């Protein structure tokens, strides 16, 4: 029994030292090796089919195409009786609403049809589905010190990320499995002192073009711990 306790203590000490020895950049590199072992993200050209389950609302079905080398992005989102398509290719922007390229200003306003909105969708999907590789982008500040935290009864290695002015204002925390380095949670705050923002629980994985992407993303508020919705990669 004494030998077992001693062995357990040694293993715990070793794991603690190991996490302390890892820098933020090293943790990120390990996570990228897990999610993108063959460095496929930079040349990513693939399609995503996503169901967004929203509480007290109908689902939104989205078809996404991303071709990074050609700077091409396409999204087709269907919710209830409306379908919106955004097409971005380099500097060009095209919007189609319910099969029509021409629509009134009132329809555009009511349905938020704009190239700015299209760019927001492009940034949203390429960022979230490109994690953790997107943390190598310019303007990302990786904190050198990592922490071990318990979240919902499970231990994680936690990486803190800030962004340079003009890139982003939120503070992000990324939670990685200490054994596999899989990304299992991320969390952001607009103002951490107010405990605002959200955390996102990731479960299961799906292989898309050689990348291990989270199949399910469940979004919760930090303050109320309230489920907002779930993105499901079909």
Residue 55 — pLDDT band, cuts 50, 70, 90? Answer: confident
CA dist 221 to 55, 83, 187, Å? 13, 28, 10
The 10s digit of each residue's pLDDT in 172-214 is 999 999 999 999 999 999 999 999 999 999 999 999 999 999 9
Q: Are 174 and 182 in contact (CB under 8 A)?
A: no
Query: Of 144, 136, 131, nearest to 181 (Cα)?
Result: 131
Q: Write out the DSSP string of 81-118.
A: TEEEEEEEETTEEEEEETTBS---HHHHHHTT-SHHHH
Q: Are 177 and 132 in contact (CB under 8 A)?
A: no
What distance in Å separates the CA atoms of residue 160 and residue 41, rounded to the nearest whole number? 22
Q: Residue 63 corresponds to which tokens in the numbers above?
A: 């078809």
Supply the pLDDT for residue 12.
Answer: 46
What distance in Å separates the CA atoms of residue 181 and residue 157, rounded to the nearest whole number? 8
Q: Where are the domains of the chain?
A: 19-39+139-234, 45-129
Can you give the length of the chain in residues?
A: 234
Global pTM value: 0.88
Q: How many CA atoms lie within 13 A of 153 on its CB side?
A: 0
pLDDT at position 20 over 60 = no
pLDDT at position 231 over 50 = yes
Supply the pLDDT for residue 173.
Answer: 98
- Average pLDDT, integer, range 154-164: 97
> To the nearest whole number, what is the mean pLDDT of the chain?
92
Q: Are 161 and 135 in contact (CB under 8 A)?
A: yes
Please report, to the nearest 10 degrees, the dihedral formed by the alpha carbons of residues 177, 155, 172, 28 taken in order.
Answer: -30
What letter would DSSP give residue 209? T
């Amino acid at each position: 029994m004494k030998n077992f306790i001693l062995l357990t203590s040694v293993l715990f000490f070793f794991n603690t030292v190991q996490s302390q020895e890892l820098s933020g950049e090293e943790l990120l590199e390990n996570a990228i090796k897990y999610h993108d072992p063959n460095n496929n993200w930079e040349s990513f050209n693939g399609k995503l089919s996503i169901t967004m389950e929203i509480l007290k609302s109908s689902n939104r079905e989205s078809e996404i195409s991303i071709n990074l080398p050609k700077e091409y992005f396409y999204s087709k989102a269907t919710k209830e009786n409306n379908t919106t398509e955004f097409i971005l290719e380099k500097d060009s922007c095209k919007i189609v609403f319910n099969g029509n390229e021409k629509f009134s200003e009132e329809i555009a306003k009511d349905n938020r049809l704009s190239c700015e909105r299209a760019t927001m969708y492009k940034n949203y999907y390429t960022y979230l589905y490109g994690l953790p590789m997107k943390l190598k982008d310019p303007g990302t500040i990786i904190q050198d010190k990592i922490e071990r935290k318990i979240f919902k009864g499970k231990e994680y290695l936690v990486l803190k990320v800030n962004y340079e002015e003009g890139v982003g204002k939120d503070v992000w925390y990324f939670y990685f499995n200490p054994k596999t380095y899989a990304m299992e949670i991320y969390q952001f705050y607009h103002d951490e002192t107010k405990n605002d923002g959200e955390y996102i629980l990731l479960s299961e994985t799906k292989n898309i073009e050689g990348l291990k992407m989270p199949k399910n993303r469940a979004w919760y508020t930090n303050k109320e711990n309230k489920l907002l919705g779930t993105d499901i990669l079909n």
